[in-house]
Amino acid sequence: MAALVLEYSAVFMSDKNVTEVVLADAKGIARAARILEAGGLVAVPTETVYGLAARADSAEAVAKIYAAKGRPDFNPLIVHVRDAKQAETFAEISDSARDLMAQHWPGPITLVLPLRRDKSLTRAVSAGLPTIALRAPSHPVMRTLLEAVDFPLAAPSANRSGFISPTSPDHVLASLDGRIDAVLDGGMSDRGVESTIVAVRADGAIEELRPGPISIAGASAVNSNAIEGPGQLASHYAPGKPVRLNATNAARDDFMIGFGDIAGDCTLSSAGDLNEAAARLYDCLHQGAASDKPCIAIAPVPEEGIGRAIIDRLRRAAAPTN
Ligand code: TXA
Ligand code: MG
């Protein structure tokens, strides 16, 4: 541990308030791996949103995630693994969990599973819960990075707690510049909303804790306000100004986010394509947050397929922040 801290200081402390942006080529991925090995924080591209990664086997590294995000420490993190084999090291995998992994990994689905008491994961990642959230991402940069290091990566979305999630390096810098060591630039995230989260219970029952790009037939949707994490809290993804949903036209003060026939200052998908809308959702919200207009209005979006995830995020973006 002492060696690790020393190395971190030598390499990074001199540039404490500088966040490097590193292109995600072979050299950049190797650089990111070195920073992570030394216990640093790197924002990494995934197919859903950018994650704020740290080594999941280090309490010090994971503590930095909570500090940089201003995230309450009772809210557990998702741990990113290469595949089902690596997942097995950390969780009890039932038959139904194994089936879900075989069908959907690598990809945008996170499984909440019983935690194995394995010394190599720090307790902070699961915030002391008896379960652990695991995901094998499909983004080629993340997959290469996970192969390049010999530990899994804890990574929540790379934004200040409660703020809009990032789908580009610029979005990450909008809220974390100077607070993290680096951003690995892998372009825009193409799915655009966070992974589906399902809990696989001991009796095989599957509960959907957060809607996302993948819908699991037969999963029971859990009353999301009863769930422990901020991603499930009423106000989240907040752009810092009032948000009006189901708007069919813009008032003078509105930054309009359009969909289908309703055009906006930013349009989610003029063709009415829900996958395109998901991919553009957070970019439009970031644009709305940065605009001079004091309010954001959003056209109706159908609540079907990935539209369920879009509506879930929009309701939380529109909820009062207290
Ligand atoms: O697509 C994604 O899932 C992205 C990328 C980076 O992988 N990550 C992400 O992480 O959205 P985050 O921290 O923003 O959301 C993780 C959610 C939180 O709502 C947290 O409460 C929940 O996962 N979670 C984590 N561990 C859990 C557990 N053991 N039981 C229930 N919920 C859990
Ligand atoms: Mg988040």
pLDDT for 231 = 52
Name all residues whose Cβ lies below 6 A of ligand 1: 46, 48-49, 51, 75-78, 108, 110, 112, 126, 129, 131-133, 135, 155-157, 194-195, 197, 209, 228-229, 231-232
Q: Which ligand has its closest atom nearest to the C-alpha of 53?
A: 1
* 3-state DSSP assignment of residue 259: strand
How far is the C-alpha of 260 from the C-alpha of 287, rounded, in Å? 19
The two three-digit tokens of residue 68, written as one number:
């940089």
133's CB contacts (< 8 A; 6+ apart) are: 76, 77, 78, 79, 110, 111, 112, 113, 126, 197
How far is the C-alpha of 320 from the C-alpha of 4, rounded, in Å? 43
252 CA → ligand 2 middle, Å = 31
Ordered alpha helix ranges (H), the chain: 2-12, 26-37, 59-69, 84-88, 95-104, 140-148, 169-176, 274-290, 307-318
232 CA → ligand 2 middle, Å = 9
Q: Which residues are paired to 120 by β-bridges?
A: none
Say how many C-beta atoms besides its own lie within 10 A of residue 292's C-beta.
6
pLDDT for 221 = 82
pLDDT for 34 = 98
The two three-digit tokens of residue 134, written as one number:
């695991």
How far is the C-alpha of 34 from the C-alpha of 53, rounded, in Å? 13
154 CA → ligand 1 middle, Å = 10
Q: What is the best residue among 157, 198, 225 to mutate for testing ligand 1's pocket, by most ligand atoms within 8 Å of CB?
A: 157
78 CA → ligand 1 middle, Å = 5
Q: Which ligand has its closest atom nearest to the C-alpha of 77?
A: 1
Q: What is the best residue among 78, 131, 172, 233 to mutate for testing ligand 1's pocket, by most ligand atoms within 8 Å of CB?
A: 78
How far is the C-alpha of 223 from the C-alpha of 233, rounded, in Å? 11
How many Cα atoms within 13 Å fall on the side-chain side of residue 62? 25
Cis link prior to 106 (omega < 30° from 0)?
Answer: yes
Closest CA to 183 of 45, 14, 58, 17: 45
The two three-digit tokens of residue 75, written as one number:
């809210």
Question: Phi and psi (nearest 5°) for 144?
Answer: -65, -40
252 CA → ligand 1 middle, Å = 37
pLDDT by 10s per residue, the chain, length 322: 444 444 444 445 444 579 999 999 999 999 999 999 999 999 999 999 999 999 999 999 999 999 999 998 889 999 999 999 999 999 999 999 999 999 999 999 999 999 998 778 999 999 989 999 999 999 999 999 999 999 999 999 999 999 999 999 999 999 999 999 999 999 999 999 999 999 999 888 999 999 999 999 888 888 554 444 545 567 788 899 999 999 999 999 999 999 999 999 999 999 999 999 999 999 999 999 999 999 999 999 999 999 999 999 999 999 987 6
103 CA → ligand 2 middle, Å = 25
Q: Which ligand has its closest atom nearest to the C-alpha of 51?
A: 1
